[in-house]
A and B are shown apart, each in its own frame.
Chain A
């Protein structure tokens, strides 16, 4: 899955989608994942980094990742078709 190209993220956790005009704020975890996604890191790499740094089980992270993707889709921040065709 890929973030839409022109999504603007700020250091303080704000996200602006210039295509739709929507703004979002995210928690610290959301901000760091978004940054990684913008840098083109793969899902598996992002997850590995989180597991190394944070106190969370792989199972929990997998469930939350699915939820995260649903949130991004709902927010219209993903390239169309980039997740469904995974």
Chain B
């Protein structure tokens, strides 16, 4: 006799404000395949947890973003934000598509060189460049974006004896009406600090001011802020032209575009509320075109978008370890994915899907990671079908920052695979081993 499908017994109290199945199924459709590759087979082959990146998705995102800007503006260049995800395989997809590299440390700079990016296509940002880093950038003819006057002070002596002027830009911060104001980076526009920095650079006679850079914030959900930024940057560039006869070749508007993840505390889901890349492109390019540049003299527009291009191309697969009831009767589900590898769970309500078929009953649960730490919470409250230990889950839109900000803590970091356009799976980073962690540890003689 064929046995019936089993579901664990479950009762739900009916209350006035009850979350119900009509309001709660969001995100819990079974998600069995990523680019036609079964989730189950991925976990079997590479272990759990496992990061999965879709090459198809990355290329689609890049092309959509490039199209949004390039159909509206004649000169557009993207530079891949290394800190968002600097796996070499990922960087090379972007470089193949035509992206330059945008780096913020000597380490990232070396990675970009290693990936074969020509020096003059590396943008060097960030407040922490060392003298050694700067020298390397000068020698490679990279675009150095100066963050503060100390950096300018470091840079000027490096130019002694050179028969060319290293190319620099300054980072400008400004009030665009968004909160918080990122005035800790670069020079302020409103109080004239940016203009004074420009004068210092131009008057030094040793550096070539080729561009202006800003990056107004992160996860900016209003296009208007970019309009303000573009108009202030354009005004500054035009002022350089008219008052200093200094031609500004490019404006780098940075990144900060949101993905469609839902921020904690947001009322409506990100998929419905976030402006699209076309909305941002329309605002930025429209502002620049109307800004009053001489005919045919529009500056190159550089964008350093990271999150928008990679977030939804990344998945994190995991396994349910256990279910338990908390003291108040609420269900808790423990999975093998901890916050140490999913940093973004601190600010997103990540969508979580079961990877297997399930029955229609759902129960509200809190999802905990495997760390022995109270803060290890993946979702405080999510309605999921009744999962049992051994079931797989898929966490969506994890491509940005998690694979760079993750930390080795309590557990080792998992493997990362890439599914290429032909739906073939490639290991692009092996799971960490004890050896990796201990290879540069030393034990003093007396403690052996």
Judge whether A71 and B329 touch: CB under 8 Å.
yes
Whether B323 contacts A55 by the Cβ 8 Å rule is no
Chain A residue numbers with a CB within 8 Å of B388 are 60
A68 with B3: CB separation less than 8 A: no
B361: nearest residue on chain A (CB-CB)? A27
* 5 A-B pairs closest in CB distance: A74-B329, A56-B6, A64-B8, A54-B6, A30-B9
Contact, CB under 8 Å: A24 / B11: yes
Given A70-B325, A74-B329: A27 and B5 interface contact (C-beta under 8 Å): no
Closest residue of chain A to B3, judged by CB? A55
Q: Check A27 against B14 for contact (C-beta < 8 Å).
A: no
Q: Cβ of A75: which chain B residues have Cβ within 8 Å of it?
A: 11, 13, 329
Q: Which residue of B lies closest to A71 (CB)?
A: B11
Within A19-47, the residues touching B (CB, 8 Å) are 22-30, 33
Tally chain A residues at the interface, Cβ within 8 Å.
25
Of A26, A27, A54, A74, which contacts B4 at CB under 8 A? A54
Q: How far is the CA of A75 from the CA of B11 in the complex (A)?
A: 9
Size of interface on B: residues with Cβ below 8 Å to A = 19
Nearest neighbor of B329 in chain A, beta-carbon distance: A74
A-side interface mostly: helix
CB of A72, distance to nearest CB on chain B (Å): 8
Q: What is the interface of chain A, defined by CB distance below 8 A to chain B?
A: 15, 22-30, 33, 50, 53-56, 60, 64, 67-68, 70-72, 74-75
Alpha-carbon distance A56/B4, docked complex (angstroms): 9
Residues of A within 8 A of B107 (CB): none
Provide the residues of chain A in CB contact with B3, threshold 8 Å: 53-55
B245: chain A residues at CB < 8 Å are: none
Chain A residues with CB below 8 A from B4, complex form: 53-55
Q: Which residue of B6, B9, B12 contacts A68 across the interface (Cβ within 8 Å)?
A: B9
Residue from A15, A27, A55, A75 having most chain B Cβ neighbours under 10 A: A27
Residue pair A55, B6 in contact (C-beta under 8 Å): yes
A54 and B8 alpha carbons, distance in the complex (Å): 11
Is B12's CB under 8 angstroms from A26's CB?
A: yes
A-B contact pairs, 21 of them (CB 8 A): A15-B11, A22-B13, A22-B14, A25-B12, A26-B10, A26-B11, A26-B12, A27-B10, A29-B6, A33-B9, A53-B4, A54-B3, A55-B4, A55-B6, A56-B6, A60-B388, A67-B8, A67-B325, A71-B329, A74-B328, A75-B11
Residues of A within 8 A of B323 (CB): 67
Contact B7 A28 (CB under 8 A): yes
* In contact, A29 and B9 (Cβ under 8 angstroms): yes
The answer, yes or no, to whether B359 is at the interface (CB within 8 Å) is yes
Does B325 contact A54, Cβ atoms closer than 8 Å? no
- Which residues of B sit under 8 angstroms from A71, Cβ to Cβ? 9-11, 325, 329
List residues of chain B with CB within 8 A of the CB of A23.
Answer: 13-14
B74 CB, min distance to chain A CBs, angstroms: 61
The CA of A1 and the CA of B131, in the complex, are separated in Å by: 75
| CB closest chain-B residue, reference A74 | B329
Nearest residue, chain B, Cβ from A77: B11
Query: Given the interface contacts A67-B323, A70-B325, A71-B329, does A25 sit within 8 Å of B7 by beta carbon?
Result: no
Query: Which residues on the B side are within 8 Å of A29 (C-beta)?
Result: 6-10
Indicate with 1 or 0, residue by residue over B302-342, a CB within 8 angstroms of chain A CB atoms: 00000000000000000000010100110000000000000
Contacts of A74 in B (CB 8 A): 325, 328-329
User: In the complex, what's the smallest C-beta–C-beta distance from A83 to chain B, in angstroms?
Assistant: 14
In the bound complex, how far is the Cα of B362 from the Cα of A25, in angstroms?
12
Please report the C-alpha to C-alpha distance between residue A45 and residue B12 in the assembled complex, in whole angstroms: 25
Known: A24-B12, A27-B7, A30-B10. 12 other contacts (CB 8 A): A22-B13, A27-B359, A27-B361, A29-B9, A30-B11, A53-B4, A55-B3, A55-B5, A64-B9, A71-B11, A75-B11, A75-B13
Complex interface residues of chain B between 1 and 37 (CB less than 8 A to chain A):
3-14
